[in-house]
Structure 1
Amino acid sequence: MQLLRLALLSLANRRFSALLTLLAIALSVTLLLAVEKVRSEARASFASTISGTDLIVGARSGSVQLLLYSVFRIGNASNNIRWDSFEQIAAHPRVAWAIPLSLGDSHQGYPVLGTNHDYFSHYRYGRGQALQLASGAVFDDLYEVVLGADVARELNYRPGDEIVLAHGTGRVSFVDHADKPFVVSGILARTGTPVDRTLHISLEGMQALHVDWQQGMPARGAARIDADQARQLDLTPKAITAILLGLTSPVSTFAVQREVNQFRGEPLQAILPGVALQELWSLLGIAEKALLLVSGFVVLTGLIGMLTAILASLNERRREMAILRSVGARPRHIFGLLLLEALGLTLGGILLGVGLLYVGLWLAQPWLLSQYGLFIAISAPGVYEAKLIGAILLASLLIGSVPAWRAYRQSLVDGLSIRT
């Protein structure tokens, strides 16, 4: 305890350089833990986005691309699926339920999803959790919309509010559907998935928006069909973007997947969500490792800065060591004193770094959620993060041994008087 007190007093005596060293270590620790936190939470967030869905069906393309646009609302489909193809697949004897998805429109940068009531009955996220309404009800009218939790919160919408949807998926759209406004019928409870950032309308509502469009543009003049006229038309969709399938038995997954991949009506592809997620993470694995490696080098740089600061102060502290020897300190006590200083600086830097990490997460959490749909939970460090902290302490112990050994040698040579 006396040696620890001496180490703290020595650091306090050199508080300016000690604080700079501590801050450098803290920032490097914050960066390392932040990279690991975002990596692990991003994986957990992606993995919890969809569960209970056996197959995702879309136009033939890459499996990762299909997963991204159908589940995460990232990117666009290379082609659509004809409605009659959906009906054939949904009628398959091994298919328990089929959820049609139609994408392509947006509202202030948030994607609009056309679907049916099966979406709210069968879609699952997390550990098989069903979608719940926080207020209002599921759409029942042609021009009703159900909002995700983030959409309602960010845009301050409530059931009964009227909104106008826009054509295209960009944040800025030059063509909107002002002639067919929608009314908010309900708001979903928060899920921590892309559902929170999505507006949900019926497939018929999606068809009504484009019933008078030609070649991707609204028709001009007498060809325009207003909202009331659209109600009188046959609004059966001509095409959709993707299909979520739930099967009667997991055993039949590969058989149904093979049948869809060999579908004769049009070129389609069926993927397993879990396998596609693993493929996605294998693509991102190199980037993850590179970020962790860079963060590790930043921590190492901070520890080397601590080594430099302690070594630079040794010559100035030789008189201090001689005084300590004169009052009974042994060379091993001098070694322990320097080692405790290094560990104290590292431990202080880790504590400050963890504190900065959680303050940063608390401040950045709403922004990450609104901009990227990524929810970073503020939780205690996990096992892997604890191992990283342990590795940092071990590295500081090894690095701190260098000035400690030098001080030990100097104390043996100097004795009670400083030798030059």
Structure 2
Amino acid sequence: MTPIFMLAWKSVLNRRVTAILTIMTVAISVILLLGVERVRTQAKNSFANTISGTDLIVGGRSGQVNLLLYSVFRIGNATNNIDWKSFEEFSHHRAVKWAIPISLGDSHKGFRVMGTNHDYFQHYRYGKKHPLTISKGKEFNGLFETVIGSEVARDLGYKIGTEIIIAHGVSDVGFSRHDNLPFKVVGILDPTGTPVDKTVHVSLEAIEAIHVGWESGAHLGNTPSADQLESQIFKPKQITAMLLGLNSKIQAFSLQRQINTYPKEPLSAILPGIALHELWGMMSVAEQALMVISVFVVIAGLLGMLSSLLTSLQERRREMAILRAMGARPRHILSLLVLEASCLTLFGLVAGVVVLYGLLASAAPLIQQNYGINIELVALSHYEWKLLAAVQLAGTSIGFIPAFHAYKQSLSDGMTIRV
């Protein structure tokens, strides 16, 4: 260990209170800078991992972001429905390997209700092509059976066998509820960190059955009892959207063009990856704003360190003069102060990274439950290392300012000051 480094270390220890405050300032700025970057990256990955293995999403004629939002993220409503005959035609297309019908429009206590069939549980994938798994119970088979997401079960305290009432539309109010047709919970899905966790799944036939006697959202006639409805055979007339998996991804653009020019009704087919990229592009303004705020916090932290160094320099003028009298050259004084600033910045970076990982480990389950964003405790990325290197370089560079002031001070100036 060089004498200059030893001297810098002892100087920092001698001013430990000021040094600790400076390190905390740098650490807080680093926590915010890396925290925003980590949450931004993980949120982007969570959005991208919501749906996996689906080649095309098809819905009524609409913009691709709107179609993606209501079909995958359960946000908003469809502009138009799809005729069931159109679904049957495309589900049997030679390029289609599997097709999942989706029917939206109802809700239960703030959670969206989705009508689908067993192909949903068999073919829907999320993350890195993870299948849906049922933690308790089984898939629905009866007309008035439902499989609920993990968040629905947790927030509402539902268990296997619980009966629930579905409401017509997204607002769960008394006059819109199908009170005489309760559904029985027969299955609870494992957590996925996606909108699946907030969804109540029923069969397409059940969606048709509960709307007998309803027209345009209004209850116009008598609704048959559950026993009467179970004795009937229901076939969907319309659905909200469909998810398609193809035999070959090369066929995606060809089939997309066929669907977009379908003569029997106006349809839109989108590629999930492209739609997700456009969605994230729309959110880039907020993303950039957060990054700018983080950068300014880092600048404020470094300026605080500069202020501390300049203030302490006035108190250390005699110290500098004594060092000069003992043979230290101006370049040694300059190296000493720059090394102090560099050490304080480095300690701040290390403290910031350690505290950040601790906060992420503690907050990850809450973020997962409340926002569906999966925060993984992975090693620092190449970009994050570059950010830390930039902060370290800036902190070291700031040390040159008080060092230059000390460099200019003469030996007599330091020895004659009043104390």
TM-score (norm 2): 0.91
Amino acid at match of 2:384: E
Q: Could you tell me whether the CA contact under 8 Å between 1:325 and 1:416 is conserved in 2?
A: no
Amino acid at match of 2:136: S
2:319 aligned with 1:357: no
SS, match of residue 104 in structure 2: strand
2:184 aligned with 1:183: yes
Q: How many residues align?
A: 416
CA distance in structure 1 between the aligned counterparts of 2:358 and 2:39, rounded to whole angstroms: 14
Cα displacement (A) at 1:210: 2.1
Cα displacement (A) at 1:313: 1.7
CA distance in structure 1 between the aligned counterparts of 2:99 and 2:160, rounded to whole angstroms: 28
CA distance in structure 1 between the aligned counterparts of 2:362 and 2:83, rounded to whole angstroms: 45
Cα displacement (A) at 1:278: 1.7
SS, match of residue 185 in structure 1: strand
Amino acid at match of 1:65: N
Cα displacement (A) at 1:253: 1.4
**Which 4+ residue blocks in structure 1 deviate beyond 6 angstroms?**
none
Partner in structure 2 of residue 417 of structure 1: 415
Amino acid at match of 1:21: T
Deviations 1:101-140 (A, max 9, x none): 1112223322221110011111122222222222221111
Q: How does 1:77-88 map to 2 (within 5 A)?
A: 77-88=78-89
2:246 aligned with 1:247: yes
Q: Could you tell me whether the CA contact under 8 Å between 1:28 and 1:302 is conserved in 2?
A: yes
Amino acid at match of 1:228: D
CA distance in structure 2 between the aligned counterparts of 1:404 and 1:258, rounded to whole angstroms: 67
2:35 aligned with 1:37: no
Amino acid at match of 1:156: G
Partner in structure 1 of residue 53 of structure 2: 52
2:335 aligned with 1:336: yes
Partner in structure 1 of residue 307 of structure 2: 308
Cα displacement (A) at 1:336: 2.4
Amino acid at match of 2:415: S
CA distance in structure 2 between the aligned counterparts of 1:199 and 1:345, rounded to whole angstroms: 54
The Cα RMSD (Å) is 2.3
Cα displacement (A) at 1:272: 0.8
Cα 1:8/1:161, change in 2 over 3 Å: farther
Cα displacement (A) at 1:173: 4.2
SS, match of residue 180 in structure 1: coil
CA distance in structure 2 between the aligned counterparts of 1:365 and 1:313, rounded to whole angstroms: 40
CA distance in structure 2 between the aligned counterparts of 1:123 and 1:311, rounded to whole angstroms: 61
CA distance in structure 2 between the aligned counterparts of 1:55 and 1:265, rounded to whole angstroms: 19
Cα displacement (A) at 1:263: 1.2
Cα displacement (A) at 1:31: 1.3
Moved more, 346-355 or 79-88: 346-355
CA distance in structure 1 between the aligned counterparts of 2:238 and 2:361, rounded to whole angstroms: 43
SS, match of residue 99 in structure 1: strand
Q: Could you tell me whether the CA contact under 8 Å between 2:150 and 2:189 is conserved in 1?
A: yes
SS, match of residue 283 in structure 2: helix
Cα 1:284/1:239, change in 2 over 3 Å: same
2:82 aligned with 1:107: no
CA distance in structure 2 between the aligned counterparts of 1:218 and 1:370, rounded to whole angstroms: 36
CA distance in structure 1 between the aligned counterparts of 2:213 and 2:376, rounded to whole angstroms: 45
5+ residue gaps, structure 2: none
2:407 aligned with 1:408: yes
Deviations 1:162-183 (A, max 9, x none): 233333335x644333322222
CA distance in structure 1 between the aligned counterparts of 2:366 and 2:170, rounded to whole angstroms: 20
Cα displacement (A) at 1:363: 4.0
Partner in structure 1 of residue 92 of structure 2: 91
Moved more, 14-23 or 293-302: 14-23
Deviations 1:335-383 (A, max 9, x none): 2221222122222222332233234334433443333222222333222
Moved more, 201-210 or 254-263: 201-210
Q: Could you tell me whether the CA contact under 8 Å between 2:208 and 2:234 is conserved in 1?
A: yes
Deviations 1:91-110 (A, max 9, x none): 22222211001112223322
Cα 1:164/1:326, change in 2 over 3 Å: farther
* Sequence identity percentage: 53
Q: How does 1:318-329 map to 2 (within 5 A)?
A: 318-329=317-328
Amino acid at match of 2:367: L
TM-score (norm 1): 0.91
Deviations 1:205-226 (A, max 9, x none): 2222222323213346xx1322
Cα 1:249/1:317, change in 2 over 3 Å: same
Amino acid at match of 1:42: A
Cα displacement (A) at 1:328: 4.4
Cα displacement (A) at 1:283: 2.1
